[in-house]
Structure 1
Amino acid sequence: MRANRLKELWASGKPAINGWCSMPGGFSAELMASMGWDAVTVDTQHGLIGYSEMLAMLQAVSTTPVTPLVRVSWNQPGKIMRALDAGAYGVICPMINDAVECAAFVQACRYPPEGFRSSGPTRAIVYGGPDYHAKANGEMLAIAMIETAQGLANVEAIVATPGLDGVYIGPSDLSLSIGGPPGQDSDAPALMAAFDRILAACKAAGVRIGVHTNSMAYSQKMIDRGFDLVTVGSDTRYMGAGRREASEMRAWMESR
């Protein structure tokens, strides 16, 4: 079976960098995957991406050595299994609030006897290899998002869930949930205290931890803080950066 390079990187003791795709399109996903990330996440929660578009994007990422991940829209077994059957090598699941929800998520990612994932890896067996059924449980990453006050309160129980590979912090929702403003790359003391509690719980449980960031500088700070995965850049951020150039060009034109 094709190895999960993200798992291999973590096993070697190194952190990983992740790119993020919110816009539908095979070429945009291929372009993101060609930038040198360790993983690329196709976002079907807040991204504007449907199933057929997700499939095409996973196929595009597969033209590179990058590990393909999918953030599903919710903790629903059908959505989780379809992402894995399409060839995702890891699933990021939003809004995990307690150990019961986490166990249901993890079990949807695993074939029996470790879970209840249904057999039907339509594209996954093409991407992963003919021994996919036998080895998938050991390669697919189950990553739970902690982004609510309830999830924070239950973090120690969540990370003790058998089979959980990682936790991914959604800082904007987490900040909102604990009384702060939404947004990325915040150093607010209350949010940093929440980060540190989640970090400590993950390290104690041997679970990897990632965080959504919005800049290289903040990503570097989070790696120095102990995070195993940082999302450094996204298609929408890079497109948005182009607006500045367009605005500057417009101002120059109007000043002539």
Structure 2
Amino acid sequence: MRMDLFERLKSEEPFFVAWSTHPSPLLAAALGRTPFEGIVLDLQHGMHDEASAFASIAGISTEGKPALLRIPVGRNDLASRALDAGCSAVIAPMINSLAEAEAFAAAMKYPPLGERSFGPSQALRLDHAHTVGSYFKAANSETLALAMIETRAAVEICDDILALDGIDGVFVGPADLSISWTEGAKVDPDLPATQPVLADIADKALAAGKIPAIYATSPEAAVRYADLGYRLISAASDEQILRTGAAAILGRARLD
């Protein structure tokens, strides 16, 4: 049965997800067997293609975890397909205008809220709790549209994005935000000048009844973001998990 991700994210306890970049459905499913509560499949910067991402959704769901997917910039057609394949949430990068946020929301929601076409074939196979009719009635609330805030332009219209009925939350990209904030001078997810901005975005999302989500580049950053009120936090990528796990195992073996 599909987790009701929106209900889970109402909790003040942060929801930590792993970030899948390698195009291996088996590796994505293995991440689903770790303590991470959900897995994000990255089609923007990761090496996934559509085939590996959609196959990974099934494997992750089999492990009882929600699959989330980040689409490439402007690929709202893939947003709808990701939901049909069984994703619980879609993250849309580089939402820098209200028109872009509206187009993303329209692709994510059924009428009258949006313009999503009906055809959730794999989603229904993965979630036996739903019938065709119950899925149609519940999908707008159970599948989440997360618009990325990662530029000055997006920060300036953050209130307007959060006010859209079809947008369920915002997902902050601190690295790109630092690039935008310094006008291309540097990339620094921990840039001091953007830290008050990150806090303000979380406060605005919570005040609007929406989900504040963010990408953390370290466990320390994940803790800091949780303290700011972020509810959905990407805490590590598959490659980070492999490197860290290998170092811990070998360190212990050599010590013993």
TM-score of the pair, normalised by structure 2: 0.89
The residue number in structure 1 matching 2:81 is: 82
Matches within 5 A, 1:46-85: 46-85=45-84
Q: Distance in 2 between matches of 1:240 and 1:148?
A: 30
Give the aligned partner of residue 189 of structure 1. Answer: 192
Output one character per residue of 1:10-35: Cα deviation in whole Å (capped at 9) or x when no partner: 23443211111000111110111111
1:31 is matched with 30
The equivalences for 1:88-99 within 5 A come to: 88-99=87-98
Identity %: 32
Following the alignment from structure 1 to structure 2, what is the Cα–Cα distance between the partners of residues 206 and 158? 13
Q: Does structure 1 conserve the Cα–Cα contact (< 8 Å) formed by 2:114 and 2:166?
A: no
Where 2:82 maps in the other structure, the secondary structure is helix
Secondary structure of the structure 2 residue equivalent to 1:40: strand
- Give the Cα–Cα distance (whole angstroms) in 2 for the partners of residues 238 and 43 of structure 1: 16
Find out whether 1:214 has 2:217 as its counterpart.
Answer: yes
Q: Which residue of 2 aligns with 1:254?
A: none
Q: Give unmatched runs, 5+ long, in structure 1.
A: 249-256
* Distance in 1, Cα, partners of 2:245 & 2:222: 21
RMSD, aligned α-carbons: 2.2
Matches within 5 A, 1:101-250: 101-128=100-127, 129-130=130-131, 131-179=134-182, 181-184=186-189, 186=190, 188-241=191-244
Could you tell me which runs of 5 or more consecutive residues in structure 2 were left unpaired when the two chains were aligned: 252-256
Calculate the TM-score normalised by the size of structure 1: 0.89
The CA distance in 2 between the partners of 1:239 and 1:104, in whole Å, is: 37
Question: Alignment partner of 1:62: what SS?
Answer: helix
Query: Aligned partners of 2:7 and 2:36: how far apart in 1?
Result: 14
Is 1:11–2:14 an aligned residue pair?
no
Structure 2 CA distance, aligned partners of 1:101 and 1:4?
28
Q: What is the DSSP-based 3-state SS (H/G/I as helix, E as strand, rest coil) of the residue aligned with 1:100?
A: helix
> Matches of 1:38 and 1:91 in 2, distance apart?
16
Number of aligned pairs?
246
User: Distance in 2 between the 1:204 and 1:229 partners?
Assistant: 16
Q: Secondary structure at the match of 1:66?
A: coil
